[in-house]
Amino acid sequence: MGGLDLPANNDGAKNTFISSTNDGAAVRVTNPPPSSDSSVNLDISDSVLNLDVGDPRAFEKFWKRMDEKCKVTISGSEVMSYVSDLGNVCWFLEPKLRDAIKRVHRVVGNAATEDRHIVVGTGSTTLFQAALYALTSSPPPPPGAQPVSVVSAAPYYSGGGSRGLMVFRSPLLHPPDPSNALNVKVNPKRCFKDVTDYLRSGLYKWEGDAYTFDKDGPYIEIVASPNNPDGTIREAVVNRGDGKVIHDLAYYWPQFTAITHPADYDIMLFTFSKGTGHAGTRIGWALVKDKEVAKKMTECITISSIGVSKESQLRTAKILDVLSDDCQSFGAISENFFEYGYAVMAERWAKLRALVKKSNKFSLPKYPQESCIFSGKFKETFPSFAWLKCKEDVDLASLFKAHKLIVRGGERFGVGREYVRISLIGRDEEFNLLLERLASVLGI
């Protein structure tokens, strides 16, 4: 498998970032990847820029201003128990997080929380797995039953695949020292297909594109809205009586799109990773109508990890509360995270569209303006990924690679190679470098 276990080369000059590319070739970059220390200044002018993964660092400057307000102190004797609240279906959900989640949805208006059970997970990725388990394990399938089909309409959220594995040396080791080098493998496989199939479960099985799905029997459709990769607002497409639907609403937040109504589906997944950009905290939550489904989801997480970090939950609760307070305070515009985030995304999209417009070979999706109940304004969707199409039949990801840009090709999402998905939620330096290089990809 290309890209696995590449030795992180040490040339003694700078930290080394090695990324395997789609054809398995190693690309060595003599500048570090974005560091987890936001104070480190990066010179990335000559780097291969990895825009394959949607690491949400575009909003760090906002949260830097909130450093003090968002501080959480946890003393030595706190949150030592496995248990948070035995009276709750999800017994490892911290009451503070439960309240903060309900409040932020009320403030934003993006989801109904009344009469729902909240299940917390280590990111919404684990909740997707838990939902598949819950929807297929109860009642237990009869002996010999076929696995339940899992589908999503193409282009669907998809990982980079084994050939997209990255291996990089810790950016914080400077100068690099081979004796204590920390090699980190980042496997971007964590999407609908991979999460469905990696355990080779007998309960469910990935069946691909919901548009072409024609198998009889029970199925689960996963609907991401706004969709990753193409940013479209979506509804279920199979719509048969024996089907169940999981709604992944990771991007249904006002920095990305108009909030047109409170979502009101049976199972809704949200994530702190995209809601505020705090992907490292690894918190997601599910709003679940049916108590039995919520119980089964809780059981799945109990079996796999006996709960979810309380420290992460308390940090999430604190930040969500700060965010809700600021949204309700009608203070300066810069204090409202969603207004800030929307302005960042709007500016990036304006620059990107202006560039792409200069080429008659490439296009980006168009999104309608919708009335937003959160801001009271008409708003366009500004997705966290650009879904770029070339009108000619080219392997677009390879073309990008030749210009030192790693992006995810359309075939990974169940469509053609003339599409690529480009992350737009990196840091300013990365976005600016993207624009510079994109001009040469587009031939303008």
Ligand X SMILES: Cc1ncc(COP(=O)(O)O)c(C=O)c1O
What is the distance between the alpha carbons of residues 73 and 78, in angstroms, rounded to a whole number?
A: 10
Query: Which residue do the tokens 């080219």 mark?
Result: 394
State which of residues 248, 321, 326, 335 lies at the interface with ligand X (CB under 6 A).
248
Rounded Cα gap, residues 396 and 389, in angstroms: 8
Q: CA-to-CA distance for 390 and 245, rounded, in angstroms?
A: 32
DSSP string, 42-80: ---TTSPEE-SS----TTHHHHHHTTTTT-----TTTT-
Rounded least distance, CB 114 to ligand X, Å: 24
Could you tell me the smallest distance in angstroms from the CB atom of residue 10 to ligand X? Answer: 31
Least distance in Å: CB of 69 to ligand X? 23
Does residue number 110 form part of the binding site for ligand X (CB under 6 A)? no
Tokens for 100, please give them. Answer: 């903060």
**Residue 170, interface with ligand X (CB under 6 A)?**
no
Interface segment toward ligand X; rule CB under 6 A; list 37-45, 118-126, 328-336, 353-361: 118-126
Q: Does residue 54 interact with ligand X by CB under 6 A?
A: yes
C-alpha dihedral (336, 337, 343, 349), degrees to nearest 10: -160
Residue closer to ligand X by CB (options 108, 269) is 269
x/- contact string, 5-44, with ligand X (CB under 6 A)?
----------------------------------------
* 52 in contact with ligand X (CB under 6 A): no
H-type helices in 140-234, by residue range?
192-197
Nearest to 157 by CA among 228, 54, 208, 237: 228
Window 121-160: residues binding ligand X (CB under 6 A):
123-125, 157
> Judged by CB under 6 A, does residue 279 bind ligand X?
yes
Pick 176 or 188: Cβ nearer ligand X: 188
Query: Is the separation of the CB atoms in 184 and 128 below 8 Å?
Result: no
Choose between 54 and 410: whose C-beta lies nearer to ligand X: 54
- Going by their DSSP bridges, the two strands 243-248 and 17-20 should be labelled as unpaired
In the bound state with ligand X, the residue whose beta carbon lies nearer, of 155 and 284, is: 284
Report which residue's Cβ sits closest to ligand X: 123
Under rule CB under 6 A, residue 386 binds ligand X: no
284 near ligand X, rule: CB under 6 A: yes
Tokens, residue 207: 């069946």
The contact set with ligand X (CB under 6 A) reads: 54, 123-125, 157, 224, 228, 248, 250, 271, 273, 279, 284
